[in-house]
Amino acid sequence: MKIEQIHTGCLAQGAYYIESNGEGAIIDPLREVQPYLEKAQQQNAKIKYIFETHFHANFVSRHVTLAEKTGAPIVYGPNAKPAFEAVIAEDNQEFTLGNITIIALHTPGHTMESTSYLLRDESGKDHALFSGDTLFLGDVRKT
């Protein structure tokens, strides 16, 4: 299992590349899609899912472009009504990625469709939580 954070300093936005056993996922992709495509190619992996924690009004996400280039579905949580094709996950819906599982946890608050993604490793242990803008490390924000 590989987890890599890709961070922008200017907007303090964190995206994630996750890969397990030849299958990859991107959480909250940034504007440039080429780095994800290159990472997957270097690891001989196929991007299987594109997860969005919520609709992002403060930056440009290229999830649609990434979906077109990879064939991977875009996944949003409950209450999302995008104007493009996407999987609307149910609370606690599980997505298999190689040897790991990613579980959608509906966490409304920042936005009504906000969803955190719990990564459960190959041994069944909860390993990481990708919370979008529902939790902030070392900072407090007004929304």
What are the pLDDT digits (tens) for 34-46?
888 999 999 999 9
pLDDT by residue (tens digit) across 26-71? 998 887 888 889 999 999 999 999 999 865 554 456 788 899 999 9
Answer for the pair 53, 131: CB distance below 8 angstroms, yes or no: yes
Where along the chain do its domains lie? 2-130
- Coil, helix or strand for 53? coil
pTM: 0.86
- Residue 138 confidence (pLDDT) above 70: no
Is 2-130 a CATH 3.60.15.10 domain?
A: yes
Rounded to 5 degrees, φ, ψ at 119 are: -100, 120
Ramachandran assignment for 67, one of left (phi > 0), alpha (psi -120 to 50 degrees), beta (any other): alpha
Q: What is the pLDDT of residue 7?
A: 67
89 or 36: which leads in pLDDT = 89
Structure tokens at 56: 């992002």
Distance CA 39, CA 135 (A): 27
Answer for the pair 70, 29: CB distance below 8 angstroms, yes or no: no
Mean pLDDT value of segment 78-94: 92
- Residue 135 confidence (pLDDT) above 70: no
